[in-house]
Each structure stands twice: as C-alpha cells, then as structure tokens.
Structure 1
Amino acid sequence: MTTPPITELTDRARDIFRIVVESYLEAGQPVGSRTISRVSTLNLSPASIRNVMQDLEELGLLAAPHTSAGRMPTEIGLRLFVDGMMQANEPSAEERAAIEARAARQGPVEEALANTTAALSGLSACAGLVLVPRAERVLRQFGFVPLGENRALAVLVGDDGSVENRVVDLPPGMPSGALEQAANYLTATLGGLTLSQARARIERELKAGRDALDTAARALVERGLAVWSQDGNDRPVLIVRGQGRLLDAAAADDLDRVSQLLDELEGKEEIARLLDSAREGEATRIFIGSENKLFALSGSSVIAKPVRSLDGRVVGVVGVIGPTRLNYARVVPMVDFTAATLARLLA
C-alpha cells in the first residue's frame, strides 16, 4: 500500500493522526479515543474520534493490535508522519557539548569515532553506528624476520607507532642477506608514503631498473608489498556501540524482536552495505521497519547521514538503529549534528 499524501487528509484527521503518532512514540502504547478527547482541544466526542481513527485505519495509517485496544501507527503511517508532519527539535547545548567532547578526545581516530558513536548511542537510547573508510597508514619502517628455511615475517611499522606482521613465503634458496637488503631498500624508498603510494613507487622503480637489488632481494620486495596489497585496507571500518541500550524497560514485552535485532547487529557486513546505501544524497536517510530487508524481521528503524569533508566528498556514514518507536523529531537532528562533528574530525 502506498502512503497517501498528507494533503488528502482533512484537518480533523491530521490532528488526530498527529496526536496518535506523537503519543505512541512517547509512551509506546496504543492510543484510545478517550485519551485523545482528554488531551486535545478538538472538542470531539470519543465516538467521533473513533470514527476518524477508523478512517485512518482503512487508509493503512493506523492499526489496532487488539479489538478493544486503541490505535498505533503502521510503518506507512510513521513514514507519512516523518516525511510530512514531523517538527524537528534541535539538539540542546548539553547534547551538542557531549558529542563534541567525545570527538575531541586525544588518541587514534578510530578511538575518537568509537567515543563519538557511544555518545550518540547514549543520547538517542539506540545503538550507534559509524562507517568510515579504513585510513591508510603512512609507512615508517619495513623489516623481515626469518622464521625458517622458506618463510619470513614481514613487519610494517606505521608513523603512528602501529605495527603489523604478515608471514611471507620465501623462494627456495633465499640467502639470509637478501632479507636485510630488501628491508633496508623498502625503508629508504618508502618511508613517509602510504601503502598505495608505496606500491606505485616500487612498481616504477623495479620496472625502470633503478634499484640496486639482486634477484633474490627484488623478489622479496615484491612479495613483502603483496601481502599488504591483498590485505583489504579499502574495506570500511564499522563501529557499533550501545547495543545494550536496546534492552530497555520498553523492550520487556517485545524480547523476541529485540533478540532478533541483536542477532542482526552481529552481521556487520550487511549493516555496512545498508549504511553505504545512505552515502548518496545530502539528506538524512530514514529506513522504517520492513523498508530495509536487513531489519525487516525485527521491525527496527535506521537513521543514517553521510559524513562529508570540507570539499564535499563522502568520508563516512553515521547513524543509529532502534525500534520503530523512535523519537524521530529528536534523533534525526542529533544524527545530523553528529555527522557534522565527525566531518570536522575526519577532514
């Protein structure tokens, strides 16, 4: 069923629909006609309100979980509300300060991303997510450590002090001196370059024959770089924080849904693809319930915003995952602000 335009609803229907949605998002419970008659200024009897709610139900905007219960918005109703009726509430000064403080902490970039995502999770009462390309480290030093007759450990040291090791298979009869020669050549030639720059430099040097390497050392140089070129450094980094916040008091009656959502959060590759779909465009993307296949079973919503650098490039995506009963008016601007904060961090 397609969402009817908001202009097709009468003023009375819009007012009642808004009250139902806002009350449901606040309390998480179906809303009855008597409640609406008490809290609204519509001057309508409960019977008149029930008639309007019945019309909204026939349009697919409201649903009644039980015969005697009140109404709650459907996913189609939530989409209509978010797109056409929601009035966003900007983050408070305290909320903005909390997000900025986490992003400004000293330490590696990934730690700052994790801290900022944790702050967003705490403020939104959702699970916070951030997806960014894996940063290419700048190389400082290479080394090779013999492990046996036909294997060596290739050691890469980054300018941030990080150290990574990879096992390299050696050609038969590789002289021990070739390890030291190759390591010295790599350090002298590639220091201060990123991995992609280093690969390009080595290819040019070896092709032009400008190196002073013998055949064995040349083969070792090529193998040493190959283990990192196949390392998947272009895979994005996905940070998830605050899964435990999904287990709040409101989830007590819906543990199956929450359990399903927590299982889905384990599939980080699928989440990364979902967030990556939000990279296009400027606006915040809101996926409600079954609008995305990944979280259709758990009936969850995803709010995601591209993170753009000063020159307009998309350098990541930040967002939250929670129940469809989200305070969208509060959380959407919070995600927007977090994206702007991370843009400055990643610039």
Structure 2
Amino acid sequence: MSARSPTNLDVSELSGRARDIFRLVVEGYLDSGHPVGSKALAGEGGVDLSPASIRSVLAELEAGGLLSAPHTSAGRMPTTSGLRLFVDAMMQVAQPNEQERAAIAQRIAAPGPVENALEATSALLSDLSGAAGMVMVPTREPRLSQVNLLPLGETKALAVLVGEDGSVENRVLELAEGGASPSVLEQAGNYITAQLAGRTLQEALSAIRQDIKNGHTALDDASRDLVERGLATWSEDAQKRPVLIVRGQANLLDESALDDLDRVRSLLDDLENKQSVAALMQRAQRAKAARIFIGSENRLFALSGSSVIASPYHDAEGKVIGVLGVIGPTRLNYARLVPMVDFTAQSLGKSLSRMIG
C-alpha cells in the first residue's frame, strides 16, 4: 500500500491480512488505550503470520495513514482517519440486551419534572460510557403556570418561571434606567402569570403586545415597559441559547489520563465552553441515528483529541427536540456505545413526550 491521502482509503483496498491486523490493532487500542505491538498480534487469538510479516503489514498501514507509532512505543495505534474507517466500515455493533434496555427506560422514566429526566439521562450516559454524558435541553418552551419577578440589585431582576410540568427556570432580566420598585415587579409578574397560564412565552408574546397596544391592561407605564422588555428578552433567549447538561466530567480523569494530562485539561476546557460543544451536538439534529465525531476531524477537539457520539431525540410527532450523547477519549467503546446512545435517545423522547405532551 503506497502512501496517499488517508481520506481516500477504502476498506476494500485492504488485503485480507491487512484488514485482520488493522482490526486487531484498533480493537486492542480501544480496549486498553495503549499502542498494540507485533508480539501481541502474533500471540494467542492473533494472526497466523510471522512477526516479520506482521511488522511489514503494520508499516503499510502506517504509510496509508491508518496507524501511527508513538515515539515512546514500538506499538501502533489508529489515527483519526483509521478510527473513522473502522467505525464506518468494519465495526460490529453490540445492541443493548433486554435487561439493559429495561434499566435505561426505567431510570429515565422516574417520576418528577422534565429537569429530573434530563439530569438522570446525562448521568446515565456517563455511567454507561465511563466518560461524560451530555444532554441538550429540548428547544420547545414549557407551558407556564406562574412567573415571579424579584429584585436583583439596582439594574436587574430575577424572573422565576414555573412550568405546568413542575419545571423551574431562573432568568436574569435587565431593567430600564432607574430600575423598578418591588410593587412594579409584583404588578408585572401578576399580569404575566395571568396572561401566560397554559401558554408558552412564544405563544403569548404577540397576544400580550396586542393587549398593551389596545390599552386593555391596567398596567402603569413602568410595569408595561417591564412586561414588554421581559417577554422580548426571554423569547429571543429561548431561540438562541441551547442549554447543555453535562455530567461525569470526573470520569475523564482516570488512570490513563495521567499519561496525557494536557489532553484531558484541554477537554475539560472544551466542556466549560458549553456553547461550542452544544453547537457541535446540534450537527447531529438531522441524523437518523447516532453520529460519531472523532478527534481532530473537529476544530473544537483539535487539541484534546476527543470523540463525541451524539443522537437526536424526538417528540411524539417525530420532531427533533434535542440531542444527547457522550464525550471522552478517542478510545471509547464505539461498538457498544453507538446503539446504547441511540436507544437512550429513543427512551428519552418517549418519556418527554408523555411529560410535555
């Protein structure tokens, strides 16, 4: 195999023995996190070739861009391109068994508000993967039952939005110059609660604005300004701000991380910047099943060399309402986790459809 652009390689171009050796190297690396040497490949359960023949094939695979040889080891490990070829063309997935399916569905469907299901799902994904679990909050707004406005300094107020499903969300609202008195906040909160009950912010925005425009309210100027300011801010915020729940970051600091602290530190920094990770997750929204993002294929993980397995989840009408997934080192157990992430997405979608109807 001559050296060429790894993106042009196809599994059909590999000889039978090259395919076998490549698969053993990748599976060995994913299992141990360490490069795989020719001695291990020639051992029990390996290939029936001489060490010299194995080394020759390894050199060909390295020249083709599928394997690399870290300078600290004589063994080989898959490159990003090698992992991509493996997961796209050679990986045999292991579907979750009945016991695992029942456990996942039961944990997600535990009683409580939507937030509990999302938190439980993120923690569940972390437990399943041994890495970090991520859930992007549904893009649809909850139907509200109550809004309270509380003073938060001279120029800000805290809006406490209570949903019909029991969810609670706090949002900070910038006040007009001069702030707002407690009585103005109370009047505005009472009015919004009365008008929004059973509606989403988006649904109620035009109705309330029309109400104010036609003078059908008893609000004074200060309260009216506060209501309009709040609704405009929240409505825009709901569309532009994906909320990402991440659990299990501590799992990323395992024993193997001690050999590569810079990579792990970079990954944790990436997770702190949730907006960038959420933007990557959103790329999986239109996928029919789990998408796999591997290492340096994405600028976000160019330094940390991490992988993401992400899958969309849907409401009862089949509309995508969010994305969930796991993030960790490139040696994730893709064969097990890809179908597990898909099934978890299906279970979360069904559970949320019952909650938010």
Equivalent of residue 96 in structure 1, options 101, 107, 113:
101
Contact 1:99 1:120 in 2 (8 A): no
Equivalent of residue 298 in structure 2, options 292, 295, 316:
292
Cα 1:152/1:339, change in 2 over 3 Å = closer
The CA distance in 2 between the partners of 1:33 and 1:147, in whole Å, is: 65
Matched, 1:274 2:277: no
Match of 1:227? 230
- 1:181 Cα deviation from its structure 2 partner: 6.8
User: How do 1:168-187 residues align onto structure 2 when only pairs under 5 Å count?
Assistant: 168-169=175-176, 185-187=191-193
Cα 1:143/1:249, change in 2 over 3 Å = closer
Contact 2:209 2:228 in 1 (8 A): no
- 1:220 Cα deviation from its structure 2 partner: 2.1
Contact 1:289 1:299 in 2 (8 A): yes
| Structure 2 unpaired stretches of 5+ | none
The CA distance in 2 between the partners of 1:19 and 1:181, in whole Å, is: 69
Match of 1:112? 117
Contact 2:118 2:137 in 1 (8 A): no
Match of 1:130? 135
User: How do 1:154-173 residues align onto structure 2 when only pairs under 5 Å count?
Assistant: 158=162, 159=164, 160=166, 162=168, 166=173, 168-169=175-176
Match of 1:302? 308
Contact 1:308 1:314 in 2 (8 A): yes
Matched, 1:76 2:81: yes
Equivalent of residue 21 in structure 2, options 16, 39, 42:
16
Cα 1:4/1:128, change in 2 over 3 Å = same
SS at match of 1:192: coil
SS at match of 1:39: coil
Match of 1:53? 58
Contact 1:315 1:346 in 2 (8 A): no
- 1:280 Cα deviation from its structure 2 partner: 2.2
Structure 1 residues 310-331: Cα deviation after superposition (integer angstroms, max 9, x where no partner): 3221110111111111111011
Contact 1:182 1:218 in 2 (8 A): no
Q: TM-score, normalised by structure 1?
A: 0.87
Q: TM-score, normalised by structure 2?
A: 0.84
Contact 1:30 1:71 in 2 (8 A): yes
Contact 1:154 1:224 in 2 (8 A): no
| Structure 1 unpaired stretches of 5+ | none
